[in-house]
Amino acid sequence: MRVQRRFFLTALLMPTLTAAVGIDGGAVFQIAAVENLGLDARVVGIAFGLGVLSVPVQLLAARMPLWRARRNIQLFLGITAVQCAVLALLLATAGPGDRIAVVALVVTVLAEISLSVLYATAWHPLLSFALTPVERQRLNSRGFAASGLLTAGAALLFGAVVLGGRVAYFVVAAAVAVGLAYVLRHVPAPERPPPSTAKSSTRIPDAARPLYVVVGLTAAGAWPLFIVYVDNVLWPTINLGLVAAVQLAGSLLAAAFWKTTTGEVQGRARWAAAASAACAFALATIDAPVGRPVEQLVFFVSLAGAAAATSTVFMTVMELAHRVIDPETSVRAMTLYDVAASTSMQTGLLVAGFLVAASDDGGGRADLYRLYLVAVAALTLLALTRLGRRRPARPPGDRSTADAG
């Protein structure tokens, strides 16, 4: 199997695995937590927010050498397999409201920590080492599109099946994680340098710092705990698997229209941020609970549009980050990038848990949760507007000026 195919297979399946164990508020985990284990929004939001406990350890892990990257990703996949097996056992033995259901929250906190320490410090630095800029963009866009479709289908399937099918889902996810760890054995990674020549650069490029601000705002406003919000407030009678599928499938629009390039990409992010703000505002104008056909249309269009716009911002800022790092700084720079993104997302999940609870007032428009979405979307657009005034970065060592299809 070619190296690019091994990377693509990992990029394809990883989001479905992380959604199963609740990383970044994974849809499958939210559905299991709400419908099978009887956990409420505030408790789930607190558990997601506790992922910030990984930050001190992740900052220490930022000094990890690049030659450990492949091994760390494999270790993360092994841990994920164990966590999926635990969730399968939990769903099979615990009923809604059982005290043992809190084990699921422990699983998702540990999953976030293991991702932050083992995966986030390794995946993108390894891509920068092994792939060219055009190959990297193809992987991040087409791989994202394919993985979004797969994750959307998986969420829809998980929402539709009964308990036995959901248990089987977690068992299969555990087996997939083990298989990916095996596939990654032969992807390229730097050789371990002799002790006398080993060095670690800690200097973060100045151009990377404003990118941390943008990705942090984008992550905080990426419609956190939206499935739980829909179930508790906005549209309690809808199939939650359908909501998750539409939200994830909307991200495919971003990848479908992404064109690999060595030129300027910041304009894409600014337009996408404006669209995201418009979608958040549109959602704030409809009544809860959703009932009329026009409101249902606004709901689905806003959901898919915001998901596509948010994904465009994420892909653009990630590419800009790759363009300002080099192998000596890649682990630390990309780890801090992930700290900014994941910590902001976890904080958003924590805040959203309380906002969903406060918004459960029986109906109305523009509740606290939706006002939060509008406010953060506006701040993201402002940050990208300021970023757009800076000179766009070029890929390190890339002298090409022509677009690469």
What's the 3-state SS for 111-163? Answer: HHHHHHHHHCCCHHHHHHHHCCHHHHHHHHHHHHHHHHHHHHHHHHHHHHCCH
Q: What is the pLDDT of residue 218?
A: 94
pLDDT greater than 90 at residue 282: yes
Cβ–Cβ < 8 Å for 56, 113: no
- Alpha carbon distance 393, 135 (integer Å): 18
Lowest mean pLDDT among 28-42, 200-214, 224-238, 311-325: 200-214
Q: What is the pLDDT of residue 388?
A: 61
Calculate mean pLDDT across residues 159-177.
93
- Alpha carbon distance 374, 297 (integer Å): 19
- Alpha carbon distance 123, 109 (integer Å): 20
Is-above-0.75 flag for pTM?
no
pLDDT greater than 70 at residue 46: yes
Taking CB atoms within 8 Å and a gap of at least 24, the contacts of 333-336 are 333/204, 333/205, 333/208, 334/120, 334/121, 334/124, 334/125, 334/128, 335/58, 335/59, 335/61, 335/62, 335/120, 335/121, 336/59, 336/62, 336/204, 336/208, 336/212
| Local confidence band at 1 (pLDDT 50, 70, 90 cut-offs) | low
Cβ–Cβ < 8 Å for 44, 353: yes
Label residue 24 exposed, middle or buried (CB < 10 Å: 0-12, 13-18, 19+): buried
Q: What is the pLDDT of residue 400?
A: 36
pLDDT greater than 80 at residue 158: yes
Q: What is the pLDDT of residue 291?
A: 83
Residue 405 Cα to chain centre, angstroms: 26
Cβ–Cβ < 8 Å for 274, 380: no
Q: Work out the number of other CB atoms within 10 angstroms of the CB of residue 25.
A: 26
pLDDT greater than 70 at residue 165: yes
What is the rounded average pLDDT for all residues in the chain? 83
pLDDT greater than 50 at residue 117: yes
User: At how many degrees (to 10) do helices 163-183 and 144-160 cross?
Assistant: 150
For the chain, the structural domain boundaries read 3-189+202-387
Calculate mean pLDDT across residues 352-374.
81
Q: What is the pLDDT of residue 200?
A: 47
Expressed in percent and rounded to 5, the helix, strand and coil fractions of the chain are 75, 0, 25
Cβ–Cβ < 8 Å for 28, 155: yes
Q: Which residue shows structure tokens 């000179």?
A: 391
Q: How far is CA 117 from CA 59, 81, 339, in A?
A: 8, 17, 10
- Alpha carbon distance 401, 260 (integer Å): 12
- Domain 3-189+202-387, what fold? Growth Hormone; Chain: A; (1.20.1250)
Calculate mean pLDDT across residues 282-305.
92
Q: What is the pLDDT of residue 395?
A: 45
- Alpha carbon distance 335, 392 (integer Å): 22
378-401: pLDDT as tens digits? 999 999 888 766 554 444 444 333
Q: What is the pLDDT of residue 362?
A: 55
State percent of the chain over pLDDT 70: 89
Lowest mean pLDDT among 122-126, 168-172, 218-222: 122-126
Q: How far is CA 124 from CA 118, 323, 330, 384, 394, in A?
A: 12, 12, 8, 22, 17
Name the DSSP class of 51: G
287 φψ region: left (φ > 0), alpha (ψ -120 to 50), beta (else) = beta
More confident residue, 311 or 1: 311
Cβ–Cβ < 8 Å for 17, 76: no
More confident residue, 364 or 89: 89
State percent of the chain over pLDDT 90: 28
